[in-house]
Amino acid sequence: MLSSSIINTLASFSPAEWMGMPKNYSVHGDTVGHMIDVVTWLMIALFVGWTLFFLISLFKFWHKKNPTASYHGVENHVSTHLEIGVVVIEAVLLLGFAFPLWAERTNDYADVKGQNPVRVRAIGNQFAWNFHYAGTDKKFGFIDRTLAKVKGDPCLDPTDPYGYDDFTSSTLKIPVGRPVILQVTSTDVIHNFSIIPMRIQQDAIPGKDIPMWFIPKEEMITSVVCGQLCGSDHANMKAMMEVISQKDFNDFLNKESKKSLKLKGHDK
Ligand SMILES: [Cu+2]
């Protein structure tokens, strides 16, 4: 009884969260969190093991006790067995945890596209994020990357009517409980769009719109950061993300779309 309760306590303990990883807020996030925890346990074991080995070596091969060097080296095979053990654990992590998780994510993407997802383009630039919304018509205007004039430019073709109500925001606002597909891109160098509380990140590559998706479970406010060293001010490359109610999200869309139509002179 006691041993099973100890095992249960250990299994529910998250070393990654203990070391500062924020709580999970996405539907798929617990499986990713579990994998991060298993990897963290392995790293803790390796850290403790290597530290002990270092300390034992310091004392065992102390100069005073061993005035002449040994030319035979290690004769037993403990280190070989340990190395094989680590390789086996790493193979299990990759084949047993990472691959199935990745397969699940890519398989589910087809279903998510049919579940009325919210689509937003996340545009990285040195050193900020810009979020491009399709507006109330839910259709993005034609994107022509040769039109890029400023940092984080959504590169909208001004002659495409689908783009008239498109707008951009420096805060990422998304509704709770609905799949979100973010199309991640960049207008300069490679960045990485990283939402730690949603347990997801994706490289932002100039010239490509790469989708990443998740379903936020609760209303919350957090910061989204750049996860790829991208220049001198990389550490300050962050933006706010707000998970809000569907009603608040609709109000936000309507208000910003109207503003955009007015600004571009298409509000008649
Ligand atoms: Cu960056």
> Domain-by-domain residue ranges, the chain?
2-113, 118-263
CA dihedral 92, 98, 103, 106 (to 10 degrees): -170
Least confident of 35-39, 172-176, 216-220, 250-254: 35-39
CA 85, 90, 95, 100 torsion: positive or negative? positive
CB atoms within 10 A of CB 164: 20
In this prediction, residues 124-151 reach a mean pLDDT of 91
- pLDDT 10s digits, 50-72: 999 999 988 888 888 888 887 88
Task: Report CA(236)–ligand 1 centroid distance (Å).
Answer: 9
Task: Report CA(232)–ligand 1 centroid distance (Å).
Answer: 10
Does residue 69 or residue 35 have the better pLDDT?
35
Q: Please say if the pLDDT value at position 249 is more than 70.
A: yes
Residue 237 confidence (pLDDT): 95
Task: Report CA(32)–ligand 1 centroid distance (Å).
Answer: 23
In this prediction, residues 123-147 reach a mean pLDDT of 92
Task: Report CA(113)–ligand 1 centroid distance (Å).
Answer: 28
| Main-chain phi, psi angles of 211, to 5 degrees | -80, 145
In this prediction, residues 181-189 reach a mean pLDDT of 95
- Per the CB < 8 A criterion, the answer to whether 121 and 231 are in contact is no
Q: pTM of the prediction?
A: 0.84
Percent of residues, the chain, with pLDDT higher than 70: 99
Give the chain's mean pLDDT.
Answer: 91
| Main-chain phi, psi angles of 165, to 5 degrees | -95, 5
Residue 1 confidence (pLDDT): 62
Q: What angle do CA 129, 123, 235 make, to 5 degrees?
A: 35
Residue 66 confidence (pLDDT): 80
In this prediction, residues 41-50 reach a mean pLDDT of 93
In this prediction, residues 33-45 reach a mean pLDDT of 92
Task: Report CA(137)–ligand 1 centroid distance (Å).
Answer: 31
Fold of 118-263: Immunoglobulin-like (2.60.40)
In this prediction, residues 86-109 reach a mean pLDDT of 92
Query: How many residues belong to the chain?
Result: 268
Task: Report CA(58)–ligand 1 centroid distance (Å).
Answer: 43
In this prediction, residues 86-102 reach a mean pLDDT of 92
Task: Report CA(192)–ligand 1 centroid distance (Å).
Answer: 6
Residue 65 confidence (pLDDT): 81
CB atoms within 10 A of CB 120: 21
Q: Please say if the pLDDT value at position 74 is more than 80.
A: no
Q: Please say if the pLDDT value at position 75 is more than 80.
A: yes
